[in-house]
Amino acid sequence: MDYSMIGPGIALGMGCVGSSIGCGIAGMASHGVMTRIEEGHGKLIAMSAIPASQSIYGFLLMMFMSQNIKAGTLLPLDAIGIALFVGLAIMFSSIFQGKCAATAIQATGKNPALYGMCWAALGIVESFALFAFVFAMLII
């Protein structure tokens, strides 16, 4: 049995699972706020989609891992270890980014002037997924 693509699959799966949970959390908040405000719904929808970016990191990591495994420069067991821990970092980053987006959406619903400032926390949480991705690329 060939186990060579388990690591890349873990990386993709964890990125996508985290993104779906994060987007779901933020999306539910945006739906609640949209029932109370008359305009600015597009901003709320955009904010609720932010956790989706981590699925891109998982996808890119999957692609680079599978290429390196096929080229013989990355052992399948090493790929599993990297994918597991980097995938966890990406997954938790997207879940907590969804929670930050949910509170940002609620704050924007109460005071639209806060919209721009709320992006700072979203960017900070995103940076941890980006750090994990970049550091994984350095060791692959």
Q: What is the pTM of this model?
A: 0.92
Least confident of 39-43, 47-51, 100-104: 39-43
Query: In which band, very low, low, confident or very high, does the pLDDT at 62 lie, cut at 50, 70 and 90?
Result: very high
Asked if residue 6 has pLDDT above 80, the reply is yes
Q: Which CATH architecture has domain 6-139?
A: Up-down Bundle (1.20)
The reported pLDDT for the residue numbered 107 is 96
User: Taking all residues of the chain, what is their mean pLDDT, rounded to a whole number?
Assistant: 96
Assign 3-class secondary structure to the chain: CCCCCHHHHHHHHHHHHHHHHHHHHHHHHHHHHHCCCCCCHHHHHHHHCHHHHHHHHHHHHHHHHHHHHHHCCCCHHHHHHHHHHHHHHHHHHHHHHHHHHHHHHHHHHHCHHHHHHHHHHHHHHHHHHHHHHHHHHHHC
Domain boundaries, the chain: 6-139
